Chain A
Amino acid sequence: MRKADIVSAVILFVGGLITIFVIIPLQTTEGEKYGLPPAFFPTCSMVVLTVLSALLLLKGLFSSNKDTDPPAPLDSRSWLNIGLLSALLFLSLAAIKYLGFIIGGILMVASFMIYMRERRLITISLVSLITPLVIYIVLWKFLRILLP
C-alpha cells in the first residue's frame, strides 16, 4: 500500500501542477474586473490537492511502519481485469450508440455474464434477451422514455 500511495501521490502532484499551470489558464477566461475571476476556485481546489499530494508523498517516503504495511492493492490480475471490463463497457456503449439499446444491451449483458463464468447457454440467452427488452418496454410504455 505504501508503494501505491507514493505512486498515486506522485501522479496527483504532477497532475495538479499541470492543471494549475497549463490546463486552468488555457481553459478559463480572464473574467470581469468585478469579483473573482473564473479560474479562482478551480485553482484553489487544485492547490489544496497538490499540497496534500506532496504531504502524502512525504508521509509515504518517511513512513515508519514499513513492516506492517498491507499488500499492494493493485496487482497484475487487477490491471488485466479492470482493463478488460473497461473495454467491455466502452464497446457496449459503442454498440448501444450504433446498434441501439436492445442489441447493444443484449451484447452487454451476455458479455458480462460470460466474463463472470456463466456457461449455461440458455441462461445467458434468456437473461441477456429479456433484461434489455423489459427495460426498453417498461420505460417506453410507462414513462414515455425512448432509449436509443
Chain B
Amino acid sequence: MKFGVVVFPGSNCDDDMMHVLGTVMEQETVKLWHKDDRLAGFDTGDCIVLPGGFSYGDYLRSGAIARFSPIMNAVVEFAGSGGMVWGICNGFQILCESGLLPGVLLPNSGQKFICKNVHLSVTSTQSPITAELKAGQVLKIPIAHADGRFYADDQTMAELRANDQILFKYCDEAGAVIDSANPNGSLDAIAGICNRQRNVFGMMPHPERAAEPILGNADGRLMFESLLASVSAV
C-alpha cells in the first residue's frame, strides 16, 4: 500500500502527514503536486490524503478554489474507481466542495478560529479508519479550524444516518454527545463522515497531531493503524 499526500498552495499540514505516515507508521509516502493532472503509480489499494492548511489562502470559501486544481480531477476519478481518499480539516472542506462528500463546512458558530483538544465518539466502525475501533469509543484529538461547522440539508442528513456514514461526533470526555462539547456548532455534532461507498472519508480533527507518545497523545495513531489493518485484511 502506498500513500500520496497532495500539496496545494497553502497546504500546511502536508509535512505533518508525511512525518506520521512515512516516519511514524513507516509507510511508503510521496508528495503529490496540485498541478499534476494524473495520479501516476497509484492503484485502488492505495490512499490519497488531502492535508490540512489554507489552500489558496481560503480567502474565498474554504476549499472552494482547491477543488479546481488539476489534481482534483484525478482524485475524483481515483475515488470513483474505489481508491481511498482521506481529507483532514482543509482536506475535508475540499472533499465537500468537490462533491466527493456531502454537506458543507461553515464558519464556526463562535465566529473564531479554535485550536484545542476535543473528544470524538466513534459513531460508525464501517470505514477503513474506524474499522479497528469500537462504536462509542472516545478519542482525544485536536481541532484547529475557523470553518468546521458541518451542515447539510434534511434529506442529506437523513441519508447520512440511514447509510451509517457518520464516523465521528464531538463528545465530552465521558463520551456524551452534548451541546457543550460541540466546539463549532456542527449539525448533529458531526466531526467526520464517509461517502456511501465508504472509500472517501473526511474529518475536521487532526489525528496526525496526536500520533506520537512524545506529544503526550497517541489516540490519533489508532486511525492510521485501523486503516493499515483494514487494507491488509482485504
Partners in one complex: no
